Chain A
Amino acid sequence: MWLEHLKNAWRSLRRSPVLSALMVGALGLGVGICMTTLTVYHVLTADPIPGKGDQLYEVQIDAGNLIGYRPGEEPTFQLTRDDGEALLAAAKAKRQALMTGAFMAVRGPDERVPPEILPLRQTSADFFAMFNAPIALGAPWNAQDDQNEARVAVLSHELNQRLFGGANSVGQAIHVAGNELRVVGVLKPWKVDPYVFDLTLGAYGREEMLFMPFSTARALKLGRAGNMNCWGETGGKSPLERGTPCAWLQYWVELDSPAQAQDYRNYLLQYSAEQQKAGRFQRAPNVRLRNVPEVMAFREVLPADVRLQTGLAFAFLLVCLVNMVGLQLAKTLRRSGEIGVRRALGARRATVFAQFLVESALIGLLGAGLGLLLALGGLWLVRQGPADYAGLARLDTAMLGITLGLSLLASLLAGVLPAWRATQLNPAIQLKVQ
């Protein structure tokens, strides 16, 4: 019977090709635009550390002074060097990493190849295990290397390709801002989007090329990049030194359970209380501990424009739906005579209803096909665009399924009212009019 319905539906579409094409076109356009923006939304809000985002927490401690102080306000989102190093030394979490971004001149062993300015990260040993950085060759440095300010580095896959042509570079020397470091590990290709552990240099499309111990970078007096907030005088010192009122370091911990997170929060409060007692902190203990999804929501990582576009796309789909309901209704009523004959010959209301829904579903399927093509085109356009997330905009299988589902759902929704109207027609009147 369903096959019969499908045949009838196809015949009906063929009978009014312009109207059918109009409906399929409008639905396809709406679905295509929706899928383009939804895919962008989907990739931009995905967990950047798959499967582990809720165990990784960013630490905030309020070390500010009393100028303009409002109790309980949001603390600076980064830590001072003193606090970062103190927490790292105490090592109260399962894993912890202190870090900052930087742009430095990096050169391989070949002196004739001029150095390049590359983004890199100065961090501590647990970083790699915490954020699931995949190691291809060698191994990351360890806590002892952090202690010893070891001259070591871990290269990204990309940098190892550039400097060593992809060969095993473990044990080789590279130069960072003129200082020799020994390669101890090489990563597999690794993308973190958004770059959640340091959002200050842009959230998307970032790829740091080299990782080196934070302690070593400080010993070599290297610079750094990103946001810095100073609330007082540095007393003639560089803000990167200890004892300055400047927050510029990200600090992350790994905690297995909410209970551990609660314990760690208590530890941070206790640490702040001790600092306040010792006179270093002027403010009452005020800390934050947010995991990856919470950080992404709180910092509003998703660009406002993307939210706007997604809303716009769904409004557009809604207009397409209303449009389709209208056209479908017109078409149905135009076939009143046919329906009257069928009903008079014994077709049940349910059969007529099913017939019209199948026709809508067919439009939905065709619309899905068109929508998919348009979404591929739309995503291609997004990738050519200027947004920093441009390269991420690609369709995946989940989104493919959603496209199909959305289009079918939309067309069925649009088909219910006309189909119901069709069953309400009085066959006697229709036959009389004929």
Chain B
Amino acid sequence: MNHLLPILSTLRRHRIAAGLIVLEVALSFAIVSNAVHVIGQRLGQLNADSGLPEAELLNLELRNTRRLENRDALSAEDLRRLRALPGVKNVSIPNQVIYGNNINVSGVNTEPDNRGQRVQAFSYSGDEQLLPTMGLRLIGGRAFTPEDVQLDSKIAAEADPKLPVVIVNKALAEALAPGESPLTLLGRSVYVFGNQPSQVVGIVENLGPPNPRHTTDRAAVLLPIGESYASGSYLVRVQPGQAEAVIQAARQIFKEVEPSRLLTNARLLTEMRERHYAQDRAMVGLLLGVCLALLLITALGIVGLASFWVEQRGRMIGIRRALGATRADIRRYFQQENLLLCGVGVVLGSGAALGINQWLVQSQGLPVLPLWYLLPATAALLGLGQLAVLAPAQRASGVAPALAMRSS
């Protein structure tokens, strides 16, 4: 910064123009750094791993078009035939699937009568094939056996239903036994349905909420309940690349078993995931576009004002050149001036960025902006400033010393 003093004294005589550049840089910086923060947060959600083999999981939803009384028998027949299909590994009927429309929540208590530790957990029900179908990994205990499973229609008709065993996910185990290893929950009783105890027989790690975009809650419980096609949807784990063939075969099966039902949805979880996050993806695109436009406009503004300055100071440049300043000196002078202005803008903008972030934290529930997130925006704006001033500075360095003499 060998030009600092002359720069400062020149800027003092162009307070308004200098102030405008600083203001523009500060505003752009505040906006871009927050946009980068939002983009990072959305991308984190978009790329979050559900822990499930999504590319192998096919969700098939069936709807009644008239009242059918033998839903359990129809489901049993559907299941038997689906499981026999080539290309199918496992099939189950959970009451909800990730990225789907259904969300079931139950209170899980450590003591009866809604006393003790109480945690709201996403409740998944399904038969003994649910764990292998969803690819859930046990970190302790066992999976459901066919003997554990009761039909939903039977449980719903009981005044005081009993559910002897349940499986919990790691997050629920940690919430129910705070400060202890999740494995300590194995063998203990929890209360999901009123006063009847259920023993925790297994703990799985990779099970999350059915609506990851809208919640940060992780606790989930698995209930050994056999649903019918009317209270859940078929979740089919297929061999890679077999999805289309299995959909065709399943369509035929449903038609043969009971033709009055409609297959309203047949999608891989990867596709459902795309839809689940489509709005976030659009938002990321929009933010990126606005950031680029903003940087472009800021750059053009700097070019405009810098060109004007160079023109205004032709005489000064000429005199300096005549007094022995090299072309590089002149160029560096303008570059350093720009660096100073942009630097002040970034410092002021940091304050504004944190202010905007405060508003976002309160109104949008966004996390607090980590300070290092300011770095990419700082680099972008300082680099942009240098890039924008390059042409005017080059032009300035080309001013002939004689010009100073002539124009005065």
Contact = CB atoms under 8 A, between A and B. Distances in A.
B311 interface: yes
A323 B312 contact: no
Given A115-B262, A305-B283, A325-B20, A19 B156 contact: no
A233 B158 CA distance: 10
Interface string B31-72: 100010010000000000000000000000001111100000
Contact of A333 (B160, B287, B308): B308
- Scoring A67, A68, A326 by chain B CB atoms within 10 A of each residue's CB, the highest score goes to A326
Contact of B301 (A178, A238, A326): A326
Contacts of A68: 114, 118
A326 B20 contact: yes
Contacts of A322: 20, 23-24, 27, 301
Contacts of A107: 65
A105 B64 contact: yes
A308 B35 CA distance: 10
Contacts of A143: none
B389 to A, nearest CB: 14
A209 interface: no
B316 to A, nearest CB: 13
Interface residues of A, number: 49
A272 B315 CA distance: 86
A297 interface: no
Nearest to A387: B279
A178 B282 contact: no
Contacts of B293: 29, 33, 316
A286 interface: no
Contact of B304 (A67, A116, A233, A326): A326
A320 B297 contact: yes
Q: B interface, by DSSP: helix, strand, loop or mixed? A: helix
Nearest to B307: A330
B282 A385 contact: yes
Interface string A300-322: 00001101110011011011101
B194 to A, nearest CB: 5
Given A177-B64, A238-B156, A312 B300 contact: no
Contact of A236 (B16, B157, B194): B157
Nearest to A417: B16
Residue from the set B30, B300, B364 with the largest chain A CB neighbour count within 10 Å:
B300
Contact of B300 (A22, A221, A313, A325): A22
B264 to A, nearest CB: 6
A375 to B, nearest CB: 14
B159 interface: yes
Interface string B260-295: 001010000000000100110111001100100110
Contacts of A323: 24, 297-298, 300-301
Interface in A166-217: 177-178
Contacts of B28: 319
A26 interface: yes
Nearest to A233: B194
A105 B65 contact: yes
Contacts of B304: 19, 22, 326-327, 330
Contacts of B24: 319, 322-323, 326
A386 B275 contact: yes
A334 B220 CA distance: 69
Nearest to B16: A329
A231 B166 CA distance: 21
B304 to A, nearest CB: 5
Interface string A105-121: 10100000011110000
What are the nearest 9 A-B pairs in CB distance?
A178-B66, A105-B65, A386-B278, A330-B308, A323-B301, A326-B20, A115-B65, A236-B159, A322-B24
Interface of B: 16-17, 20-21, 23-24, 27-28, 30-31, 35, 38, 63-67, 114, 118, 156-160, 193-194, 262, 264, 275, 278-279, 281-283, 286-287, 290, 293-294, 297-298, 300-301, 304-305, 307-308, 311-312, 360, 363-365
28 contacts: A19-B304, A29-B293, A33-B290, A33-B293, A68-B114, A117-B65, A177-B66, A233-B159, A233-B160, A233-B193, A233-B194, A236-B156, A236-B157, A236-B159, A304-B363, A304-B364, A308-B38, A308-B364, A315-B27, A316-B31, A319-B28, A325-B20, A326-B301, A327-B304, A327-B305, A330-B17, A386-B275, A417-B16
